Chain A
Amino acid sequence: MAEEKKLFKVKIDNITVEVEPGTTILNAARLIGGDVVPPAMCYYSKLQGSGGKCRTCLVKVSKGSDADPRPMPKLVASCRTTVMDGMEVGNITSPEVLDARRGVVEFLLLNHPLDCPVCDQAGECDLQDLSYEHGVSATRYEFKRRTFDKIDIGDHIKLHMTRCILCYRCVFTADQLTNKREHGILGRGDASEISTYIQNSLDNDFIGNVIDVCPVGALTDRTARFKNRVWFLKPVDAHCSCDKCSGKAVLWMRGDEIFRVTARKDKYGEVEEFICDTCRFERKDPKDWTVEGPRKISRHSVISQGHYVGVHKPDETIAKVMDGRAPKLLLDIHSVSEVNMPAVDLSKIDGPAHSNDFPKNKSNGVQ
C-alpha cells in the first residue's frame, strides 16, 4: 500500500485547510478560495522563481506551527512562504495586513497613471481591482510622476513603461519561454525600467505571452489595442492544430470578428498553457479555429457584462403589446455617432482605431 503523505493543517482567516508540505500560504489560501485569497501581482504559478517582489500578498503569521507556535515577527509574502503544520495566518482578518496592503497599493499607484478609461487592460487589470479594493480615493503624492514614451518592442507588442509596476513577470516569461532573451530590467530603484537591449525587438515564437502575464496595461497587443473594450467582446474557447503550441486559446470576438487571441487563464488570471505567436497574432480568421463554446467568466468580472451564460431574460413584451410592431428607436446611435459603425471592421484596421477610420460621411458605413 502506498504510504500516505502527511498533510499540514493551516488555518487562514479562521478557515482550516489541509495541504501538502511545501505548499505556499498563497496556494493554501487558493484551495479555500474566496476572500481569504491574498492578491498577487508578481507571483505567477507557471513561472519559476516568480513572486516575493510586489508585496501585495503580505500576510500575518500569528502562529508559526504546532511545534513552534511563536508568531513571525514581520508580515510575510504568502506567495513565497511555505506552510507549517498548525500554522495560523491572518489575511483579511488582520488589520495590520490590510494596512500594509493599502500602503503597497499607494506605492504602486505613485508611478502608475490611473488611465483606465483609455487603457487596453481595463477590465482585466489586477491593479485596477487591487486599488478598487484597497486603495484610497485621493493620493498624498504631490510630485511629478515618471513618464516615458510608448515604444514598440517588436512587431506585435507595445510597451507603456509608465504603467509598468516592475513585477518581473514578463522578464521571467521571456527567460523561461523563449530561446533568445532580449529584454530585461535596466536601472535601479524607481529609475528601473523594462527595456529591450539596444535596438533589439522582441520576436520569439512565444514572446507574445509577456502580454498575457503583465498584470497591468504596460505590455499590450499591437494587433488589438484600442480596437475594442474587453467587455464588449465575447470570449470563446477555441482550438486549432498548431505545430508549435497546444493551439488552445481564447478568441475575443464581436460578431464574427476575432479582435484578439489570448491564452486561456485560470480563475487567478494565470495562463493555463502558453501559446505561440502565430496563434496569437496571425490566426484572426474564424476559419482558422474550431470553437468549443463560450468561455466561463466570473460573474463579478466586468467582462461578463452583457453575456452571462444561462441567464433567463424576461420576454421582450413591447412587440406583443404593440400588435407585433417593433419598438421605434428614438435615437439610433449610428445616426449621430461617428464611431461604432457596423460596416467598419475594427479588427482589420492596421494599428489602433481612431477617428480617421470612421468616414465623415455618415451614410458610409451606416446600414
Chain B
Amino acid sequence: MGRKLLLDKAHIEGIRYYDTYRKNGGYAAAEKALKSMSPDQVIEEVKKSGLRGRGGAGFPTGLKWSFLAKPEGVPRYLVCNADESEPGTFKDRYLMEFIPHLLIEGLLISSFALGAHSTYIYIRGEYAWIPDILEEAINDAKKNNWLGKNIQGTGYDLEIYVQRGAGAYICGEETALIESLEGKRGNPRIKPPFPAVKGLWQCPTVVNNVETLAAVVPIINIGGDEYAKYGTGKSTGTKLISACGNINKPGVYEIDMNISVEEFIYSDEYCGGIPNGKRLKACIPGGSSVPILPANLLLKTAKGEPRMMTYESLNDGGFATGSMMGSGGFIVLDEDQCVVRHTMSLARFYHHESCGQCSPCREGTGWMKKVLLNIENGKGKMTDIDLLWDIQRKIEGNTICPLGDAAAWPVAAAIRHFRDEFEWHVTHPEEAQIRNFGLAHYADPLPVVATAAAV
C-alpha cells in the first residue's frame, strides 16, 4: 500500500464536516504552527520538506515564499489557485470536495507564515457546487475560531474569501488570476514585476495551488524532514494524480513519488491496467499541456532505466525524449487511439482558451487547429506537417505567458513521436475521411473534447 499524507483520512465518513475532521486530528497542525512556531519557522519547515508547487511548474514552495516582499505598512496576500482547468487534471476538485478543511487548515498555516490577513480561493466557475462546500467549511472554521479575529487567542487574524471564476482556463495562470480577482478581464500580466513584489492590488502576493497548500498540513504535522523521506530527493512527499483515458480504474490517486510509471498504470492499487487487454500506446503524464510520451519512452528513460513518477524522471532528457510531471493529469492512450485526433482536440482547446493578448498565441493557436483539422479529416498535405512544426516553433517561447508553450508542446511532441501517423492521414485521405471526425462541427465554436474517443 502506498503511503498517504493528504487522502489518508478521505475514507472516513463525514470527514467533510468540521467535527469529524477535528476529531480525526484536524487543525492540530494549525494549532502547532500558530501556538508554537514563528512564521519564519513555518517557512523553514516547508523549505526542509522540499515541497514543490503542485500547480504545474514544480517550483520549490519554501523558496517561493521566501521571495515575498515585505514592505512596511503594505498588506500581503495569499491566493489559492483552484482554477483547475487543464484537461485531464481533476485532483484539486477531489480534495476540495471531500476534505475541504484540509485546504482551509493549509491556508491558515500558510497565510500565517506569509503574514497575510486576507486570503482568496479563486475557484473555476464550472465547479459550481464546490464553493458552497468551501463556504460551509469556512463558516464552521470561523465558528470554532480557526478564522476571524484573534484566532485561538494567538492575536492572529485571518479571513478567507471564495471567488468564483467565469470559466476561463487562462485565469489559472497566476497573473491572469490576479487580474480576474481584481474584477478585470483575465489577461496575464507581463512579468516582471512578479506577484511576490506586485500582485493583488499591487501588493506582494503568493499564488499557490490547492494541493500545495493542503500539503503544508502534513508537513507541519510530521515535520519537514520526515515529509522529505517520502518520494525521492528532488520529488519529495506525495502527489495527487488524476488518471483517466484507457485505464480500468480512472480516478484520483495519492502516490508516494517513488513508484514507477509501469506500476502506476498496471498495478491494481492504481490504474489497474488497460481495458480489454489492449496495448499501451502513449500517455500524457502531467495534464494536457505536457508532451505526450510513446509507450517505449514512457516505461523506460533514455538510459533504459524504469521511468518513475517523479519530476526528474518524467522530465529526463528534456523535451526530446521526456515530458513533465506538470499538474499530475495522467491521460493514457491505448493502441487504438489516434494521436492526430487527440492532438487536434488539444489544439482546439488551446485555441479556444487563448486570451488573445499576444500575436503568436492569438493567431498561431487557431492556425494550428485548422491545419490539424484538415490533416485529421484526410484533407491535409505532406507539407502541412512541416508547417505545423514551424508554427508551433514560432509560438513556443515567444509569448507573454506559458499558454503559448502549452499549446505548442503537445503538437511538437506528437509530430516528434508519431510523425508516421500524421503521414498516414495524408497518404490515406479516404480512410481518414471515413472517420469523419469533427467535420460536423467544422464551424466554430467547436466543442472541446479532452481525450480521444475510440476509432
B363 neighbours in A (Cβ, 8 Å): 107-108, 110-111, 190
Nearest Cβ distance between residue A58 and chain B, in whole angstroms? 6
- 1/0 contact trace for A51-67 toward B, CB 8 Å? 11111101000000000
Once bound together, how far apart are the Cα atoms of A141 and B368, in whole Å? 10
Once bound together, how far apart are the Cα atoms of A80 and B189, in whole Å? 11
Nearest Cβ distance between residue A185 and chain B, in whole angstroms? 7
B356 neighbours in A (Cβ, 8 Å): 166, 185, 187-192
- 1/0 contact trace for B351-367 toward A, CB 8 Å? 11111111111111111
Nearest Cβ distance between residue B182 and chain A, in whole angstroms? 14
Question: Is the Cβ of B355 less than 8 Å from the Cβ of A75?
Answer: no
**Most chain A CB neighbours (cut-off 10 Å) among B355, B359, B394, B398:** B359
Nearest Cβ distance between residue B258 and chain A, in whole angstroms? 30
Question: Is the Cβ of A107 less than 8 Å from the Cβ of B397?
Answer: no
Once bound together, how far apart are the Cα atoms of A191 and B359, in whole Å? 12
List CB contacts (< 8 Å) of B373-415 with chain A: 387, 393-394, 397-400
B444 neighbours in A (Cβ, 8 Å): 191
* Residue tally, chain A, CB below 8 Å to B: 35
Interface presence of A74 (CB below 8 A)? yes
Q: Which of B185, B360, B365 contacts A55, CB < 8 Å?
A: B360
Interface presence of A300 (CB below 8 A)? no
A189-B356, A192-B356 known; A143+B370 contact, CB < 8 A: yes
A75 neighbours in B (Cβ, 8 Å): 397-398
Interface presence of B190 (CB below 8 A)? yes
Once bound together, how far apart are the Cα atoms of A53 and B399, in whole Å? 8
A52-B400, A140-B387, A190-B354 known; A104+B360 contact, CB < 8 A: yes
A58-B398, A74-B397, A110-B367 known; A53+B357 contact, CB < 8 A: yes
* Residue tally, chain B, CB below 8 Å to A: 30
A213 neighbours in B (Cβ, 8 Å): none
Question: Is the Cβ of B400 less than 8 Å from the Cβ of A103?
Answer: no
Question: Is the Cβ of B367 less than 8 Å from the Cβ of A141?
Answer: yes
Interface presence of B168 (CB below 8 A)? yes
Interface presence of A106 (CB below 8 A)? yes
Once bound together, how far apart are the Cα atoms of A200 and B365, in whole Å? 32
Interface presence of A28 (CB below 8 A)? no
Once bound together, how far apart are the Cα atoms of A194 and B393, in whole Å? 28
Nearest Cβ distance between residue B310 and chain A, in whole angstroms? 23
A110 neighbours in B (Cβ, 8 Å): 363, 367
B387 neighbours in A (Cβ, 8 Å): 140
B399 neighbours in A (Cβ, 8 Å): 55
Once bound together, how far apart are the Cα atoms of A99 and B364, in whole Å? 15
A53-B357, A110-B367 known; A189+B362 contact, CB < 8 A: yes
A263 neighbours in B (Cβ, 8 Å): none
B190 neighbours in A (Cβ, 8 Å): 51-52, 77, 80
B354 neighbours in A (Cβ, 8 Å): 188-190
Once bound together, how far apart are the Cα atoms of A140 and B374, in whole Å? 14
Nearest Cβ distance between residue B193 and chain A, in whole angstroms? 11
Question: Is the Cβ of A104 less than 8 Å from the Cβ of B359?
Answer: yes
Question: Is the Cβ of B365 less than 8 Å from the Cβ of A100?
Answer: no
Nearest Cβ distance between residue A346 and chain B, in whole angstroms? 36
B362 neighbours in A (Cβ, 8 Å): 107, 166, 189-190, 192
Q: Which of B366, B394, B400 contacts A190, CB < 8 Å?
A: B366
Interface presence of A165 (CB below 8 A)? yes
**Most chain B CB neighbours (cut-off 10 Å) among A51, A103, A188:** A188
B351 neighbours in A (Cβ, 8 Å): 189-190
Nearest Cβ distance between residue B156 and chain A, in whole angstroms? 36
Nearest Cβ distance between residue B301 and chain A, in whole angstroms? 24
A140 neighbours in B (Cβ, 8 Å): 387
Q: Which of B185, B352, B359, B366 contacts A54, CB < 8 Å?
A: B359
Once bound together, how far apart are the Cα atoms of A100 and B370, in whole Å? 21
Q: Which of B352, B353, B360, B400 contacts A107, CB < 8 Å?
A: B360
Q: Which residue of A lies closest to B383 (CB)?
A: A140
Q: Which residue of A lies closest to B350 (CB)?
A: A189
List CB contacts (< 8 Å) of A175-196 with chain B: 184-185, 187-192
Nearest Cβ distance between residue B86 and chain A, in whole angstroms? 17
Question: Is the Cβ of B394 less than 8 Å from the Cβ of A185?
Answer: no
A53-B358, A54-B358, A140-B387 known; A104+B398 contact, CB < 8 A: yes
List CB contacts (< 8 Å) of A279-332 with chain B: none
Question: Is the Cβ of A103 less than 8 Å from the Cβ of B352?
Answer: no
- 1/0 contact trace for B318-361 toward A, CB 8 Å? 00000000000000000000000000000000011111111111
Q: Which of B185, B359, B398 contacts A165, CB < 8 Å?
A: B359
B365 neighbours in A (Cβ, 8 Å): 189-190
Once bound together, how far apart are the Cα atoms of A107 and B168, in whole Å? 23
A51 neighbours in B (Cβ, 8 Å): 190
A74 neighbours in B (Cβ, 8 Å): 397-398
List CB contacts (< 8 Å) of B396-455 with chain A: 397-400, 444
Once bound together, how far apart are the Cα atoms of A156 and B382, in whole Å? 49
- 1/0 contact trace for A225-267 toward B, CB 8 Å? 0000000000000000000000000000000000000000000
Nearest Cβ distance between residue A78 and chain B, in whole angstroms? 12
Once bound together, how far apart are the Cα atoms of A51 and B357, in whole Å? 11
- Across chains A and B, which 3 residue pairs bring their CB atoms closest together, nearest first? A103-B394, A189-B354, A192-B356
Apart from A99-B394, A185-B185, 15 more pairs, CB < 8 Å: A51-B190, A53-B358, A75-B397, A80-B190, A107-B362, A107-B367, A111-B363, A143-B367, A184-B185, A188-B352, A188-B354, A189-B361, A189-B365, A190-B362, A190-B363
Interface CB pairs A-B, < 8 A, 7: A55-B398, A55-B399, A55-B400, A75-B398, A80-B190, A103-B394, A192-B362
Chain B positions within 8 Å of A, measured between CB atoms, are 168, 170, 185, 190, 351-367, 370, 387, 393-394, 397-400, 444
Chain A positions within 8 Å of B, measured between CB atoms, are 51-56, 58, 73-75, 77, 80, 99-100, 103-104, 106-108, 110-111, 140-141, 143, 165-166, 168, 184-185, 187-192
